[in-house]
Amino acid sequence: MKKLKIIYWVITGIMVAMLGLGSIFDAISAPEAVTYVTKLGYPAHIVPFLGVAKLLGIIAILIPGYPRIKEWAYAGLTFDLLGALYSHISNGDPASTWIFIFIPILLVAGSYIFYHKLQEMAKGETATYAPQL
């Protein structure tokens, strides 16, 4: 269990650092973030919305408990990243531009998988130590 927790927190920590930094720039509508998103054909007013939504998703993942909200947060981050990947590919951007989007996608997937492994182990331990009637 301890090894799984360490792996989960390392993957989740890297994911939070990567996505959190970008979402802060989005949330404050940094000129670089606005330029990046508008180059893909989206309106500038979507940038702070996406930034705040990603920050809320990251907070939901980090706060203990609330498994249903965590599921939605993982889904939202995945949709955001897959949408960014699709936008780059459909915009005709070279692979060198969008290939790095796979890193946060893999981090979100890894965090999600290890979160569920920890949940399963916790359920198993609860069942093992529950008093028998």
Alpha helices in 1-133 (DSSP H): 2-27, 31-39, 46-62, 67-90, 95-98, 102-129
pLDDT exceeds 70 at position 132: no
Residue showing tokens 């998988």: 113
pLDDT of residue 7: 95
Return d(Cα 8, Cα 15) in angstroms, integer: 10
pLDDT of residue 52: 97
pLDDT of residue 98: 86
pLDDT of residue 114: 96
Please report, in angstroms and rounded to a whole number, the separation of the first and last CA atoms in the chain: 27
Averaged pLDDT for residues 119-125: 83
Averaged pLDDT for residues 79-108: 93
pLDDT exceeds 60 at position 111: yes
In this predicted model, what pLDDT tens digit does every residue of 25-78 receive, in sequence order? 999 999 999 999 999 999 999 999 999 999 999 999 999 989 999 999 999 999
Distances (CA, A) of 59 to 12, 15, 77, 112: 12, 12, 12, 14
List the structure tokens of 76: 């939202």
List the structure tokens of 129: 């130590």
pLDDT of residue 116: 94
pLDDT of residue 44: 95
Q: What is the pTM of this model?
A: 0.87
